[in-house]
Amino acid sequence: MIMAQGSPKAAGPVVVEVFLAKPDNRKRDGDNLLKCLLDTLVKSRVIADDNCDVVIAGSWAWADHGVPCRVKITEIEVKPIANLRLAGVIK
């Protein structure tokens, strides 16, 4: 279904936010679902990889109702540490 939607490929560093709806009252393990979802995004070529150079942050949140799974991928610009030092952001 992801490939059928023609999702654009995120080339650079990304933040992945996942919003999951609970279909029932059973307990679920969110980090296992996040891993499965990241693997699916790589296989579907939505993101290049799920390593720490591509996915620099990820999170999930539970909802009581709504769409079973909603994913927000935000491409971000990562500035080299040397530039942050020059700008006085870090020492």
Q: What is the pLDDT of residue 38?
A: 92
Integer angstrom CA distances of residue 10 from 7, 49, 54, 71, 84: 9, 10, 9, 13, 24
Domains of the chain: 3-86 (3.30.1330.70)
Work out the pLDDT band at 87, boundaries 50, 70, 90.
low
Query: What are the tens digits of pLDDT across the range 5-28?
Result: 566 677 778 999 999 888 888 888
Cut 0.85: pTM above it: no
Q: How far apart are CA 66 and CA 72, in angstroms?
A: 15
Q: What is the pLDDT of residue 23?
A: 80
Q: What is the pLDDT of residue 81?
A: 62
Q: How far apart are CA 40 and CA 37, in angstroms?
A: 5
Query: What are the tens digits of pLDDT across the range 48-79?
Result: 899 888 898 888 898 877 888 889 999 988 76
